[in-house]
């Protein structure tokens, strides 16, 4: 089925999808003015629920989503304010930005969750990590300390390796 005639799509364009369990998925969508929303569907897109965090002062501007593949409802969203997180499909969101001061508001590019319960954040000035329940981001990587990291890749076949995509090529980081 399709939802192309839904009026929501007159305002927003879907930019990123993240799969969850079964037919469930999340969509990050932006309006022409740059305001972002997060939608959740558990029936393959037949219906959607708006689960976006409430931005405090500026319109919500999201860059990337990451969904925990093992815990339904756990979601992280890199935004201009920092990294938003929820454990319950959106009614309650927390914001973490400690340690990211020099890359905010527009320097967050990608976020991924690793099976070690660590988050990795690609930025315009290197990459950062923190535990899921930690409050502060830590900068990583000697070779890439000031490079713009565009996005990441993890593979199931080599889970201890994080691939970092940059304009200068691809770097590898060993996850310990």
Confidence of residue 78 (pLDDT cuts 50, 70, 90): very high
- Among 150, 57, 74, CA closest to 65: 74
pLDDT tens per residue, range 93-123: 999 999 998 898 889 999 999 988 899 999 9
Question: Which is more confident, 12 or 40?
Answer: 40
Residue 2's pLDDT is what? Answer: 47
* Beta strands at 149-153 and 161-166: parallel, antiparallel or unpaired: antiparallel
Q: SS3 for the chain, per residue?
A: CCCCCCCHHHHEEEEEEEECCCCCEEEEEEECCCCEEEEEECCCCCCCEECCCCCCCCCCCEEEEEECCCCCCCEEEEECCEEEEECCCCCCCEEECECCHHHCCCCEEEEEECCCCEEEEEECCEEEEEECCCCECEEECCCCCCCCEEEEECCCCCCCEEEEEECCEEEEEECC
Residue 124 clears pLDDT 90, i.e. is over it: yes
Residue 105: asked if its preceding bond is cis (omega within 30°), the reply is yes
Residue 156's pLDDT is what? Answer: 82
Provide the whole-model pTM. Answer: 0.86
Confidence of residue 164 (pLDDT cuts 50, 70, 90): very high
Mean of the per-residue pLDDT values of the chain: 87
pLDDT tens per residue, range 17-47: 888 777 888 889 988 888 889 988 888 888 8
Contact 74, 37 (CB under 8 A): no
Mean pLDDT of the region 133-161 = 90
- Among 41, 66, 50, 54, CA closest to 132: 66
């Amino acid at each position: 089925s399709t939802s192309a005639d839904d009026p929501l799509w007159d305002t927003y364009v879907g930019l990123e999808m993240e799969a969850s369990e079964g037919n469930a998925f999340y969509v990050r969508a932006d309006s022409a003015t740059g305001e972002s929303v997060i939608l959740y569907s558990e029936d393959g897109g037949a219906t959607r629920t708006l689960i976006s965090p409430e931005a405090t002062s500026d319109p919500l501007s999201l860059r990337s989503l990451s969904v925990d593949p093992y815990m339904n409802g756990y979601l992280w969203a890199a935004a201009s304010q920092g990294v938003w997180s929820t454990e319950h499909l959106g009614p309650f969101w927390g914001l973490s930005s400690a340690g990211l001061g020099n890359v905010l508001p527009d320097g967050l590019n990608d976020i991924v969750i690793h099976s070690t319960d660590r988050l990795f954040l690609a930025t315009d000035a290197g990459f950062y990590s923190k535990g899921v329940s930690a409050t502060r981001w830590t900068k990583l990587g000697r070779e890439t300390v000031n490079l713009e990291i565009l996005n990441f890749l993890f593979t199931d076949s080599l889970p201890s390796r994080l691939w970092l995509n940059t304009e200068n090529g691809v770097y590898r980081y060993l996850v310990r």
